[in-house]
A = this chain, B = another copy of it.
Amino acid sequence: MVWDPALEIAFHPTVVAMVGVSADAKRSEHRPSGGATFIAGFEQLGFQGRIYPVNTKATEILGYKAYPSVSAIPEPVDLVVISVPAQAVPAVLEDCITANAKNIHMYTAGFEETGEEEAKELGLKVRQIALRGGLRIIGPNCVGLLAPKSHLTTLARLPLEPGPIAFFSQGGGQAEDCVDFGSPRGLGFSKVVSYGNALDVDESEFLEYLAQDPETEIISAYIEGVRDGRRFFSALKGATSQKPVVIYKGGTTEAGQRAARSHTASLTSSVAVFNAVCHQLNAIQVNGLEELIDVLVTLRFATPLPRGTGVAIVGAGGSPAVLASDAMESAGLQLPNLSPEVQTKLKQCLPVEGGGFTNPVDATNLVSPEAIYAALCVVGKVSDIHTLIYHLGFHPLSHWGNGRLSSTTYLQAAIDAFTQAQQAADKPVMLVLRPPPDLVGMKEFLATQKAFVKARFPVFHSLYNAAKAIARVVAWGQA
Contacts and interface: CB of A to CB of B under 8 A. Distances in A.
Interface of A: 30-31, 109-110, 113-114, 141, 156-158, 169-174, 176-177, 180-181, 183-184, 222, 224, 250-260, 262-264, 288, 317-326, 328-330, 334-335, 337, 353-354, 356, 358, 360, 362, 394-398, 402-403, 435-439, 442-443, 446, 464
Given A329-B255, A334-B255, A403-B30, A260 B322 contact: yes
Given A329-B255, A334-B255, A397-B157, A437 B322 contact: no
A173 B330 contact: no
A263 B330 contact: no
Contact of A326 (B253, B323, B436): B253
A252 B323 CA distance: 9
Contact of A318 (B176, B183, B264): B264
A253 B329 contact: yes
Given A255-B326, A256-B326, A262-B321, A397 B158 contact: yes
B172 A319 contact: yes
Of listed A110, A181, A262, A435, residue having the most chain B CB within 10 A = A262
A323 B258 CA distance: 11
Nearest to A358: B262
Nearest to A290: B462
A263 B403 contact: no
B439 A395 contact: no
Nearest 4 CB-CB pairings of A with B: A171-B319, A253-B329, A263-B318, A255-B325
Contacts of A251: 322, 325-326
A53 to B, nearest CB: 21
Contacts of A438: 180, 184, 446
A394 B184 CA distance: 17
Nearest to A171: B319
Contacts of A334: 255
Given A353-B110, A443-B439, A326 B252 contact: yes
Contacts of A356: 113-114, 262-263
A319 B173 contact: yes
Nearest to A320: B173
